[in-house]
Amino acid sequence: MSRIKPKKISFLEYLGSAGFTILSRPVRKTPNGRNFQKDLDTYIYSDILELTRGDYCDIAVLVSGDEDFRALIPRL
């Protein structure tokens, strides 16, 4: 598993101290040595649907450059 860069750790700690919940998935390596997180968008998608369907939250904020989440917006 690759090490997390100190700058990223600092940013994640800042988000945590600001009240954000930080969730992560295990990082795996492909046969050619590249890192990836399998199905991370699926976990995020299902978590948002679950949280907004119940009385868990009034507002959900998702910041992503992944266009796969565009299909989620009409379902909220």
pTM for the whole structure: 0.53
Distance between CA 31 and CA 1 in Å, rounded?
13
pLDDT tens digits for 10-43?
Answer: 998 999 999 988 877 778 888 888 877 777 788 8
CA distances from 52 to 5, 45, 47, 73 (A): 33, 11, 9, 11
Sequence ranges of the domains in the chain: 1-37, 39-76
pLDDT at residue 8 above 90? Answer: no
pLDDT of residue 10: 92
pLDDT of residue 21: 82
